[in-house]
Every structure is written in structure tokens, then in C-alpha cells.
Structure 1
Amino acid sequence: METNHNNLSNISFTPAVRSNFFEMPTSVSENTTPILILSDKDEVQEYIRKPFIEANTIEVDISHLQNDCIIPVFSKDNEVTISHVNFIECVLNCIQKVYPFEKVESPEIRVSHQIKGRTPDAIYKNAKDLLDSEKTIYYERFAFIVRIPSITETINGNKLSLTVGGVRAYNQENLYSKKNLEKFKFFIGFQNLVCCNLCISTDGMKSEMKSTSIVDLQEQILSVMLNYNAEKHLSEMSTLQDYHLTEQQFAQLLGKAKLYNYLPKNIKANLPQLSFTDSQFNTIAKDYYSDESFCKQEDDNINLWKVYNLFTQASKSSYIDSFLERDLNAFDFSQGIQKALIGNGDYHWFIE
């Protein structure tokens, strides 16, 4: 059932019968687009599920991570790392604690940078002669989301679902040392079901959680979830649809954004952060004219909600270890442009 973001705390959600969290297809797929069906009180709506991140990722299921992948260790003391599956289970346990009566979907998992190895008995074999049982793999980077479809809101005609997720990147660990604090990224926010873009705010994301145990990691995740203000986040996103850029202002914004990466350091240091790349700005420019959901209006104006989603759409081309930060930057940047339109803030340079 849909929630009202102006009165979120007074909503009573319909309890849902929980299925096995890990009941998912057993195949590994690069391009899966099943239908996501959300049942509301009086309607059933269908959405084509798109990946929440693209780049060079593939989609896998949790049984693949459990059964087909090894778990890296710290080489100097052979202590095991917190595995990708452990991280997912930890987040699911936290969801059950914070939202005990809500419907929860199975995790959607994306991985990249496969690390290959072989068992000791196959050390002298040619690669082409290896049996499947003699191969070992794990994924250096992985990201996942878990949707809570019983908590939704609609902004500018787009349905949003509360979503929780995380990122793990072994390339940010020193696996050649003794076991020490391991790094994780975690967020709670909303997913725009029209495009599957993630909507993240500052209080709903922690870009570096450091932990040596599942217990400690769970405490940190719960802290973020309990301190996240969904009502405030939805309200802030909703106001974006009330502000518009003209075609000239949008062109000025993109032009300045492309100049931003080449500014002298002393000038750049005095401007707000913008972490997108030139190729992503090109995608935003193209989608201004051609995106089915977020293109310009007939009068060539575009509201900031659409601008925000053009940025989060472009963020999907980021690698796993940087896309959450770009999603957050897209929200901060959109809010900054909103303030610039009413004469406040430090973002005037982008639209002057």
C-alpha cells in the first residue's frame, strides 16, 4: 500500500507473509528483465525491472555466491573475510528488526571483476583443460539491493519503493596483511520503479563502515536505518518537481559541468563537488531529448526532479565502488541548483 510522505509515521502497513529470502533462480545472467508486480490495495501494477547499476556488472543469485565462490582470506594470518553472503544476511536481519511486518523482496545482486584461481591438484594443467571442479572464483566487487515494496510513494507520477542495499569492494582491502578492519558501504533510500534509479540522501548512506565482525557491522547498519528520515527525504525530493530549468539554463548547467573537471585547483576548491565524468554528462545531454520518462517538456523546460533522475540514470555507468557516491552527489547537486534558482547557496556558478 502506498504511504503519504506528509504523514509517514501514522501509516499502518499491511503485514506480509515472508517467503524464503534466498528463493531465486539459480542461473547467472547478464541481462535479465523479469516483470516486477506490486500488489496495492486496489490495483496491480507491472514494471520492467532494469538493473540498478550497469557498467561492467552481471546479475547473480545468492546460491551462486554460496556454492560456487570461495571466500578470500587475509594472507598473513589466514583469517577469513566477511563474505558477500554474510553481508547480505546481515542486512536482511536488520530489515527484519526495523520493518518486522513489511513485505521484503529477494536481494538483487550485481557483481564485477571476477578473480579466477584453481585447486592445487590442477596446478600443472593448461587453462583449457581445467574441469569446473578445479576452478575457483570470487568477485572483487559486488553490490546488492533489497526492495521493501509495501512502503511506497509517488513523485511526479513516478512510483518509489523503499530500498536498502550495500557495496563491498575487496580492492579497497589489503588482503596481503593480517586481518584488520574491513570496509563496507550501506544505504537506505528509495528506488524509482520507472527506471530503477536509486535515490539516496546523506542521512541514508554511510560510505565507509569499518568492521571486523558481523555483530559490529549489524550495529552500524541498524544505526543508519534508525536515523534515516524517510519523510524528510521524500519531501525534499518532491519539492524538486516544483522548480524548472529553461533549455538555456540546462545547456549552461551542462556546459559548466563539463568545464568543472578542468578548472584550476584554486577555483575548483571554492565550488561544490560534482563527481560525474564527461561521458556521463554526454548521456545526460542525450537523455534530455530522448529519455522516455525524463526528457524535456514541449516548451523545452525541464523540472529538477527530471534533472535529478537524468543524473542518477547516468550514474549507472559507474563502477560498483563509486556509483553510490555519485548517486548521493546527484541529490546534493539537484538540491543545490534548486537553491540557486531562488537566489541561495553556492551553486550559482553552474547556471550563471
Structure 2
Amino acid sequence: MELIANNNTEHMVLDHSEVVTNTSLNFIEANTEKVTLEHLKNKCTIPVFAKDNETTISHYQFINETLDIVHAQFPQTNLKAPDIRVSHVVKGRIPSAIGKPAKELMEHEKTIYYERCAFVIELPQFKQIINGNELALCIGGVRAYNQENLYSRKSLEKFKMFVGYQNKVCTNLCISTDGFTNEIRIGSILDLNQNIQNLLSTYDKDAHLNKMEAMANYALTEEQFGHLVGKARMFQHLSKSEQQGKFPLQLNDSQINNVVKEYYNCPNFKRSENGNINMWNLYNLFTEANKSSYIDSNFERNVNTYQYVNHLVESLKSDSASYYII
């Protein structure tokens, strides 16, 4: 894989004033750090497709174009600056530093770009109160170079987009099935516009809000919660034939353990005094645990938790059998 040369090399150094270190309220944790849009624009190199040296669409282009599209779609909305998280930094050096020992490199001789990037743009005018929590409408996306074959010739590039809500109590993302597209394939940044418009047109925010509001009407007892936790951990080890017909939960063991821990300790979404936990609180425990997922799988798992909790709600509502509920 090759990189496009950036002649503005003195601006490639990571300025720590552009990295926000507060991790108490991030929409994703994992191994990510928060950066600014200007940092991505001015201080990061851009990977290219190795066989033909054609440029990829950069993280900056992706986010900036999305901002322009959202501005056009919601002209009366005062958008907040995008919340950007990056991970898996790829380090390099400028040509004049070839052969120089790493420990002797000066800051202006170092280059970087990030393999993975996720962002959220909040539309503060579109807020709702659901089950006592303030939710804000958001639009966001993911770009992960590890999902591209950069050693080949230029091809359609993969992006992920969502429109949904963010719980302002805990910054948990609430993404529904129709508000997420897992595989936008585009050849240039100009192709992004139509894909975002298609996503916005298919997203039913009223249905999304109604389903989230209904979650608080159903609850699990402590015994049912314990059964669910055990079954969720067992599901991962079932054979493929045994998994058929059972709703998959994509959280891993450590994330399920975190759900159990917060069932007892979370100040906002823990169990009630009698041990019961309503499905809204359980949903938020799941989305909180999902913050430890890497950028390239985070949105998919977020959607999965939404589908999973709604599966549980339907089982309780109709008193029908479920693998997870006794």
C-alpha cells in the first residue's frame, strides 16, 4: 500500500490540543481517541490503492461531505461539531527521514493516518424525552480501511451510515434496523449524497421512538435476568444447527459480564429494589457494554441489541416461548 504525499509536512504532527482526552461520555470507547475534523484534514496522510496509485476517499472527505449534506437537508438546524473517534493509527515518515533511527525522528518527520474512524453529528433541535431520558437525533458513519483491499486497484469503497438517537444521559447510541446501512458502496465522494438521502427517507423515526418508549412497559424478574445471561453466554457455544431459530446476541462474554455488573451498579439503569429490570434499562446496559466494540463492528452490534431487546419485548408481550426467557 502507498500513501499520497502531503507537502505540508510540518502540519502532520499530532497536536495534542486537538485530541480530547475526556473519556467519561464517549459514544464509543474500545481503543479509540477523539480528534478534530481539522486534524484529519491537515495532519493525516491519505492511503491509495497500491496497483494504480488512485486515492481513497479520506476520513475528512467523508465527514465533511456528510456535514454539507446534513446542512442542506436541515438548513434551519444549528449542527454541533462532529464527534469523531479514531483508532489503529498507522505511522510513517517523510522521504527525507528514510534510514533515520526511529528514536531520532523529529516531530515534523513523522506522518500518521488512522485505519478506522467513526463520527456522530448531533441535530440538537430534534430532541425527545423517552422514559425520562433526553434523546437527540444524530447522523453518523464509519470508515474502516481494513475492510478495503488497498493492495489492489481502485474499486468501490465501503462506508457505513446511520440515523438514530443518542441518549444524552449516557451518550449511548440508539440505532434501529431501518436507520442503518451496513454497506454503502461508492466510487467517489459525490456518490454519497444519494445514499444519505435514501437512508433518511427510509428511516421511520416515529416507529423507532414508539418502540423504545414501549420498552419501559415490560420487565424481567431477577430470575429471568439470570436465565437470560446464562443463555446468552451459552448461545455462543451452540453448534450452528442448534443456533437455528434462536435470536443471536452479538455481544461477547466480557460485554455480557459488564451488563451483569451494571445491572447492580449503574446509577441510571440498574435493577429496581425488588431485582426487576425493565427492558429500556436493559437495552441501555447492552448499548453501554457495546461501547467496548471496535469501530468496524460497533454499529452492527448496536443494531443487534435493539433487535434483540425488541425480540424479548415481543416474547413478554405475547407470552410466547423464547430461548432466553423462562
Q: Report TM bin, short chain.
A: over 0.9
Match for residue 350 of structure 1?
A: 324
The SS at the match of 1:330 is helix
1:74-94 per-position Cα deviation (integer Å, ceiling 9, x unaligned): 111111101001100121122
Cα offset, 1:29, TM superposition:
3.1
Contact persistence 1:98–1:225 (CA under 8 A): no
Deviation at 1:344, TM superposition (A): 6.2
Asked whether the 8 Å contact 2:181–2:199 carries over to 1, the reply is yes
Q: Secondary structure at the match of 1:150?
A: strand
Q: Does 1:260 align with 2:250?
A: no
| 2:105 counterpart of 1:105 | no
1:349 aligned counterpart, secondary structure: coil
When the two structures are superposed, what TM-score results if normalisation uses the length of structure 1?
0.86
Tell me which of 216, 224, 227 is aligned to 1:241.
216
Out of 99-108 and 285-294, give the one that drifted further.
99-108
> 1:244·1:301 contact (CA, 8 Å) conserved in 2?
yes
CA distance in 1: counterparts of 2:225 and 2:309, whole angstroms: 12
Distance, in Å, in 1 between the alignment partners of 2:313 and 2:51 is 51
Once the two structures are superposed, residues 62-107 of structure 1 have per-residue CA deviations (whole angstroms, 9 ceiling, x without a partner) of 1111111001001111111010011001211221122111121000
1:205-230 residue CA offsets vs partner (Å, 9 max, x unmatched): 00111111112122111110122111
Residue in 2 that maps onto 1:187: 162
Deviations 1:170-196 (A, max 9, x none): 000011111001000000000000000
Q: In 2, distance between residues paired with 1:343 and 1:226?
A: 31
**What corresponds to 1:171 in structure 2?**
146
Moved beyond 4 Å, runs of 4+: none
State the alpha-carbon separation in 1 of the partners of residues 204 and 58 from structure 2: 29
The equivalent of 2:9 in structure 1 is none
2:4 is matched with which residue? Answer: none
Structure 1 distance, partners of 2:264, 2:167, is 20
Of stretches 267-276 and 192-201 in structure 1, the one that deviates more from structure 2 is 267-276
Computed over aligned residues only, the root mean square deviation of the Cα atoms, in angstroms, reads 1.4
The letter for the 2-side match of 1:114 is V
Q: Hey, what does 1:31 align to over in structure 2?
A: 21
Cα distance in 1 for residues equivalent to 2:315 and 2:262: 23
Q: Tell me the amino acid that sits aligned with residue 31 of structure 1.
A: T
2:188 alignment partner, one of 213, 228, 232 = 213
* Separation of aligned partners in 2, 1:32 and 1:170: 26
Q: Is the CA contact (8 Å cut-off) linking 2:235 and 2:243 kept in structure 1?
A: yes
Aligned to 1:270, the other structure's residue is in SS state coil
- Write out per-residue CA displacement over residues 273-304 of structure 1, whole angstroms, 9 at most, x where no aligned residue: 21110000000000000001000011111110
- C-alpha displacement at 1:342, in angstroms? 2.3
Unaligned stretches of 5+ in structure 2?
Answer: 1-14
- Which aligned pairs between 1:28-177 and structure 2 lie closer than 5 A? 28-29=18-19, 31-32=21-22, 50-177=25-152
Aligned to 2:250: 275
C-alpha contact (below 8 Å) 2:157/2:186 kept by paired residues: yes
Query: C-alpha distance in 2, partners of 1:265/1:226?
Result: 36
In structure 2, the residue matched to 1:16 is none
Alpha-carbon offset, residue 30 of structure 1 = 5.5
- 1:139-175 per-position Cα deviation (integer Å, ceiling 9, x unaligned): 0001000111111011111100001100000000011
Q: What is the one-letter code of the residue matched to 2:325?
A: I
> Any idea what SS the aligned residue of 2:68 has?
helix
The equivalent residue for 1:226 is 201
Q: Is the 8 A contact 1:30 1:57 kept in 2?
A: no
Q: Distance in 2 between matches of 1:190 and 1:247?
A: 29
Matched residues in 1 for 2:158 and 2:111: separation? 24
For residues 306-351 of structure 1, what are the alpha-carbon distances to aligned partners after superposition, in whole Å with 9 as ceiling and x for unaligned?
0000000000000000010111001000000001112367x70111
Contact 1:98 1:226 in 2 (8 A): no
**Is the 8 Å Cα contact of residues 27 and 61 (structure 1) preserved in structure 2?**
no
Aligned residues: 312
For the residue of structure 1 that corresponds to 2:117, the secondary structure is strand
2:280 pairs with 1:310: no
2:240 paired with 1:250:
no
Query: Could you tell me how far apart the structure 1 residues matched to 2:38 and 2:275 are?
Result: 48
TM-score scaled to structure 2, two decimals?
A: 0.93
2:268 aligned with 1:293: yes
Amino acid of the residue matched to residue 163 of structure 1?
A: C
Identity, % of aligned pairs? 48
8 Å CA contact 2:19–2:36 kept in 1: the answer is: no
CA contact (8 A) 2:50 2:153 kept: yes
Q: Which runs of 5+ in 1 are unaligned?
A: 1-24, 34-48
Find the aligned partners of 2:36 and 2:100 in 1 and give their Cα distance: 30
* C-alpha deviation, 1:26, in angstroms: 7.3
Q: Secondary structure at the match of 2:312?
A: helix
